């Protein structure tokens, strides 16, 4: 019974909202700005995602390589010293 009541209330609210939106009149610049916002939001990954992922990937690769080098040096237990010529 609760499910039926909840469904009825939700559908009634959606029907009233739909009627209200149909009567809503907005000026043309609002539609243009809304369309531009939706275009940017839908293509955000293409516009900005590649730049941020490239920077993040590069820094992550460098830090992973440094950690691997550090762990290899600790695993061998030897220090690498510069070569000296006598």
The pLDDT, as a whole number, for residue 24 is 82
58: in domain: yes
Report residue 26: phi and psi, to 5°.
-115, 150
Threshold 0.85, pTM exceeds: no
7: in domain: yes
Instruction: Flag whether pLDDT at 68 surpasses 80.
Output: no
Please report which confidence band the pLDDT of residue 45 belongs to, taking 50, 70 and 90 as the band edges: confident
Strand locations in 22-67, DSSP E? none
Which range marks the domain in which residue 19 is found? 1-66
74: in domain: no
- Rounded to whole angstroms, the Cα distance separating 37 from 30 reads 10
11: in domain: yes
- Rounded to whole angstroms, the Cα distance separating 73 from 86 reads 26
Please report which confidence band the pLDDT of residue 23 belongs to, taking 50, 70 and 90 as the band edges: confident
Q: How many domains does the chain have?
A: 1
């Amino acid at each position: 019974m609760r499910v039926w009541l909840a469904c009825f209330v939700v559908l009634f609210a959606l029907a009233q909202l739909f009627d209200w939106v149909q009567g809503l009149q907005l000026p043309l610049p609002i539609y243009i700005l809304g369309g531009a916002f939706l275009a940017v939001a839908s293509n955000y990954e293409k516009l900005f995602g590649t730049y941020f992922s490239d920077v993040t990937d590069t820094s992550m690769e460098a830090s992973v390589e440094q950690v691997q080098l550090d762990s290899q040096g600790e695993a061998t237990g030897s220090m690498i010293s510069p070569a000296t010529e006598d």
